[in-house]
Amino acid sequence: SSPSESPILFGYLTLYNVFSAIGWSLVLYTTTRHLLTAPYLPSSAGISNGPKATSAFARLFSSLPGMKSGAPSVLPTSSIESFVLDKLPFLEPFIMRSHTLYQSAGLLTAVVQSFAVLEVAHVVLGWVRSAVGTTAIQVASRLILVWGIAERYEEARTSPFYATMLLSWSTTEIVRYTYYALSLLSSSTSPISYQVSIPYWLTYLRYTTFYLLYPTGAGSEAFCMYATLPKSNPLNSGPWVQKMLWGRWGFEDWVRGFMFVIWWPGLYMMYTHMMRQRRKVLGWGPGKTIGAAP
């Protein structure tokens, strides 16, 4: 049954989207508050390590054969971070606070994001019209970042890119889930006795904010993964080829390196897909369909 034919299903999907929007609002609030008000050490004091991984997921991943990283445990300031601090010193408080953001927002983000596995079930059960493969890949990539990367590696969860990743994720999801909830409530076949309308500004945000948030989100994801690689990687000086090929890179290091590479064409595919969707929904540019259903 479609949501319009089943009041129970309609209510469940509506509440799922509402609570998801609330959850990501809490992530955005926690992240912003930490970056603005948390105590921090100056850059001269070095990076303050975040908490060690303690979740059952992290222990399970760590126990798998070959899943032992060659990444160092000492966290030097990255070359990117040093460059930013040198050129834009006013960003130092925010960058230094980002090193401990995981302590404030890590668990909350993991819990909120983990509920997204229900979206795969929604598609499989036919409750939501979407491609199973695409939905599964999108959810899996987020879970990999939450449980397989940030939860396990200090280099990822103390990186400034972890903060920009959460800011991009939470802003995107607040708009997306709010839009979905109102889409259900505004449907002409809704089982409720009244309908609400989707404000145009929300539709505009839904199909416009990706211009900024997709590159910052996906780029931050990629560089969080990159931060976990052994320092014998192509972007660092030294005989990195020999170090990569002769024992410094473990199996999972190669996997994360491969993921870092494929993240960029993946971003391009999603970016161009959203541009096409924007033209269809907002009715601007070639291929426009004014008034098309989202």
What is the percent of the chain where pLDDT is above 70?
72
Task: Check pLDDT > 70 for residue 47.
Answer: no
236 Cβ neighbours under 8 A, 6+ residues apart:
79
**Structure token pair of residue 225:** 């993964």
**Structure token pair of residue 149:** 């990367």
121 or 52, which is more confident? 121
Could you give the angle at which helices 210-227 and 251-282 cross, rounded to 10 degrees?
180
3 Cβ neighbours under 8 A, 6+ residues apart:
9, 10, 13, 127, 184, 187, 190
Chain centroid to Cα 175, Å, comes to 14
Lowest mean pLDDT segment, chosen from 22-26, 77-81, 186-190, 271-275 = 77-81
58 Cβ neighbours under 8 A, 6+ residues apart:
147, 151, 152
51 or 171, which is more confident? 171
Task: Supply the pLDDT for residue 68.
Answer: 45
**Residues in the chain, overall count:** 294
Q: How far apart are CA 193 and CA 243, in angstroms?
A: 67
Lowest mean pLDDT segment, chosen from 24-38, 58-72, 224-238 = 58-72
What average pLDDT does the structure give for the chain?
Answer: 81
Q: How far apart are CA 103 and CA 48, in angstroms?
A: 11
pLDDT tens profile 234-270: 555 455 555 555 456 788 888 999 999 999 999 999 8
Q: How far apart are CA 279 and CA 291, in angstroms?
A: 11
235 or 205, which is more confident? 205
Task: Check pLDDT > 80 for residue 155.
Answer: yes
**Residues labelled as active-site residues:** 214, 221
The answer to whether the CB of 218 falls within 8 A of the CB of 267 is: yes
Which pLDDT band holds residue 69 (cuts at 50, 70, 90)?
A: very low
Tell me the whole-structure pTM to 2 decimals.
Answer: 0.82
Task: Supply the pLDDT for residue 236.
Answer: 52
The answer to whether the CB of 244 falls within 8 A of the CB of 251 is: no
24 phi, psi to nearest 5 deg = -70, -25
What does the pLDDT average to over 12-28?
A: 97
Q: How far apart are CA 153 and CA 73, in angstroms?
A: 9
Task: Supply the pLDDT for residue 294.
Answer: 46
Residue boundaries of the structural domains of the chain: 7-40+82-282
Q: Using DSSP, state whether 181 is helix, strand or coil.
A: helix
Task: Check pLDDT > 60 for residue 285.
Answer: no
Task: Supply the pLDDT for residue 274.
Answer: 92
DSSP code at position 130: S
Task: Supply the pLDDT for residue 229.
Answer: 87
Lowest mean pLDDT segment, chosen from 21-25, 58-62, 70-74, 275-279 = 70-74
